[in-house]
Amino acid sequence: MIVKKILTVFLIVFILGVGSFLIYFGFLVKSKAGADTTKEVFEVKEKTSTLEVAQNLETKQFVKSDWAFYIYAKLKEKTLKPGAYLLSQDMTTEQIVNKISDGKTAVRKATIPEGFRSEQIAQYLGNNNYAKYDDFVILAKDFEGQIFPDTYYITVDSGAKEILDMMLEDYKLRTADLKPTNDDLVLASIIEREAKNDTERTAIAGVYKNRLKIDMKLEADPTVLYAHDTRLLSTGRFDVKTYDFWQPIVFSDYLKETSLFNTYTNKGLPPAPICNPGMKSIEAAMNPDASSYLYFFHDSSGKIYLSETVAEHDRKKALYLK
């Protein structure tokens, strides 16, 4: 009799416990983490587990409980899909699970590499259906060098203007303390296309600064390639969706590019940047190495060789360019 009473009490306690848990669980699923309606980007990366997503959501205060999110997603057999989502604290756990499992991202991630010229950025945006190529090229015409290479989260209803404004604002924020001049950006853009790694950027900047001081032609290969691509694009004979920028041309054709951007035929800096440099190149242009080097080249492995005289330069090329 006593055993029966104990079992009955145990069963009642168990039922009450389960009932309380279910009520609390239901409360957590239907409740909001807060009242803030501000939407922020939350990224679900490839191969991220449901538990990791739940923990990240709680850390960022989008859900009250990571375990409630996890259990609900598993009970509903929801598969969380990679992407960037606009979430706010005033969304319930249920709503967030449904949003991420539906895969309907409100924003998409776009990564712009360092050293892209504006037409390349337009090509990337156009080919990935972010914005029309022609719209972006027209708007970006006067902003080469300031379209900051970075990762952006772009809303589905953004157009070329909104995307460009976002990139220009990013540039302003990143360079607010540096305040680079146009000449700084022009030099930085050349460094960006020349450098193989961050460690040599200031050395290359020093070479070009030294040449400018003695009124010596920069003879920077990327400026010729920029002029070459610009000329070919202007003919309208090439598909902007597939055009391959920065392809090498034979040295005998260098002097044939009659452009103010050709630093083999013109002294001084080009009139404008040839691409959009990253922070390392901008910083290098503004803080070059103090040296007496006037020449440099890279071998087939990407190693840089610096020289003070043309004789030294030619000797090193004979030794290391094999």
Give the pLDDT confidence score for residue 1 in this predicted structure: 62
Which of 62, 86, 105 is where one domain is finished? 105
* Residue numbers in the chain where pLDDT is lower than 70: 1-22, 24-25, 27-28
Residue 116 is part of which domain span?
108-174
* Burial grade of 195 (CB within 10 A; 0-12, 13-18, 19 or more): buried
User: Domain for residue 11, yes or no?
Assistant: no
User: Domain for residue 164, yes or no?
Assistant: yes
User: Domain for residue 15, yes or no?
Assistant: no
Does 154 share its domain with 194? Answer: no
Q: How many domains does the chain have?
A: 3
One-letter amino acid at 303 equals K
How many Cα atoms sit within 13 Å of 9 on the Cβ side? 6
User: Domain for residue 21, yes or no?
Assistant: no
* Burial grade of 132 (CB within 10 A; 0-12, 13-18, 19 or more): middle
Q: Which residue has the tokens 């260098």?
A: 254
Does 165 share its domain with 187? Answer: no
Which of 53, 78, 105 is where one domain is finished? 105
Give the pLDDT confidence score for residue 16 in this predicted structure: 47
User: Domain for residue 249, yes or no?
Assistant: yes
Give the pLDDT confidence score for residue 34 in this predicted structure: 85
For residue 167, give the CATH number of its domain: 3.30.1490
CA-based radius of gyration for the chain:
29
Look at the pTM and tell me if it is higher than 0.95: no
Does 187 share its domain with 286? Answer: yes
User: Domain for residue 2, yes or no?
Assistant: no
* Burial grade of 279 (CB within 10 A; 0-12, 13-18, 19 or more): middle
Which of 86, 105, 124 is where one domain is finished? 105
